[in-house]
Structure 1
Amino acid sequence: MGGGGVVVVEEEEEEEVEVARGGAGKEKRKRKKKYGVLMCAEEEPEYVREAHGGYFKMFVRLLGDEGETWHLFRAARGELPTAADAAAFDGFVILSRALGGKTGRAVNGWDIGVTCIHPSNSTLKLLSSLHIPSHLPVIECHRDEVWELPPNAEVMARSEKTGIEMFRYGDHVMGIQGHPEYTKDILLHLIDRLLQRNLIQMSHAEDAKASLEAREPDREAWQRLCKSFLKGKLPQLKPLPIEDE
């Protein structure tokens, strides 16, 4: 019902340029990063398209910088990039399963609203240069969860309701259960949509709306975190060791 499993990937874009100062021939030089958003949902709410331009534009606004190239791949329709390393911002369960983790319905049921997640001490140390708070509110809308991490992955954060809210796999893959790209109006729309389709009970809707009144999602902190990981701006981040099979 949400972003439908969105994964952000990156690859280098190259161009041929003339060799400077009279040199003969051409050479290839790395010019800039090229990013892609993999949309795993077959449908996108009309409200999201009309009010925000769609999920793709929301991700670009959250993560993009001037001069970058961004592409949309509708994975549910078979549109995929030819090759890429992935860093995930949704599609949390899909990503974990693809890497070898175990997933299923959340033991505690739906998690809808603004949830406060708690980064681990090692995560706070890793992100110390970003000044990430120890309590990090984010909008959630899910009833699936990761039961067991992929081999060699590391839990980055938890919440009172969910034991694995964030994880990383080495220095190039990060999964987040929540939706840093969402705004409150989108969540309100999704709550009404879920209620109309009898996928949640009125009590779920009331609790979710109450959480929106109680706290604000920390979009600025999430933006710093996600952009820094995606664009390799965490110099202290090192790959996790890979165990021999």
Structure 2
Amino acid sequence: MLIGILQTGQLPEALRPSLGDYPEMFAALLAHQDLEFRTYHVEGMVFPADVRDCEGWIITGSRHGAYEDHPFIPPLEAFIRKAYEAEVPMVGICFGHQIIAQALGGRVEKFDGGWTVGTQPYDFEGESLTLNAWHQDQVVTLPPGAEIIARGETCAIAGLRYGDRALTVQAHPEFGDAVVEGLMETRARGVVPDALLERAEGLVGSPKDNDVLARKIGAFFRRDRA
């Protein structure tokens, strides 16, 4: 099954030689899910010609806000709406979670409780999962057709399911601890409160459930939609 990765951001340049970037991280996360990948750097205005050019889509994380004025956001929202209407399955991660919600009628805002970084516990419909996160923005209003499937201690809408059409999560299952450590060194100092960084540093090396979410994503894409 061919999955298009719509890349909406990049890791800091200093991290890419050792960690790769979003396409490499998703390919590694989903390596055992019988999926193939093709990347479109939509942040750089490289878009697929048609929503059916791939059999499913992943929308990545980004340092940008979904509500900000960037050239790639309006065409990305239009693409999301077309894919949704055509019932081509989409998975959104962090910014991808937010932009799908916004494109379909929800609302995204900067969380007044501040940042969420590093290892976080989530309740996925009664299943406890631990995943890395890195965000300040959150979905605050559900779009029509969306059902909450995950909640976190600092994120009330941490996962959404739109029937068979879209599955989105606020956390980063593609982030290993090395990515979190790298972001703390390159983007966080003076931006994220020191207490949150100390907490994140203290949880580096603790178990994560990235593989569990990888299986959920793979199963969602392979679901029979005939």
TM-score tier (shorter):
0.7 to 0.9
Rounded to whole Å, the distance in 2 between the matches of 1:47 and 1:232 is: 38
1:75 aligns to 2:42 (yes or no): yes
Rounded to whole Å, the distance in 2 between the matches of 1:102 and 1:159 is: 18
Correspondence for 1:138: 131
Correspondence for 2:194: 202
One of 47, 51, 61 as aligned partner of 2:18: 51
Correspondence for 1:34: 2
Q: How far did residue 45 of structure 1 move?
A: 1.8
Rounded to whole Å, the distance in 2 between the matches of 1:120 and 1:69 is: 29
Rounded to whole Å, the distance in 1 between the matches of 2:3 and 2:124 is: 27
Amino acid at match of 1:35: I
Amino acid at match of 1:227: G
Larger radius of gyration: 1
Rounded to whole Å, the distance in 2 between the matches of 1:94 and 1:79 is: 17
SS of equivalent to 1:46: coil
Correspondence for 2:177: 184
Q: How far did residue 234 of structure 1 move?
A: 9.8
Rounded to whole Å, the distance in 2 between the matches of 1:204 and 1:195 is: 10
Aligned residues: 188
Amino acid at match of 1:60: A
Q: How far did residue 47 of structure 1 move?
A: 4.1
Structure 2 unpaired stretches of 5+: 52-88
Rounded to whole Å, the distance in 2 between the matches of 1:117 and 1:234 is: 28
Amino acid at match of 2:40: F
Q: How far did residue 66 of structure 1 move?
A: 8.3
Q: How far did residue 55 of structure 1 move?
A: 1.6
Rounded to whole Å, the distance in 2 between the matches of 1:160 and 1:67 is: 33
CA RMSD of aligned residues (A): 2.2
1:115 aligns to 2:95 (yes or no): no
SS of equivalent to 1:212: coil
Percent identity over the alignment? Answer: 26
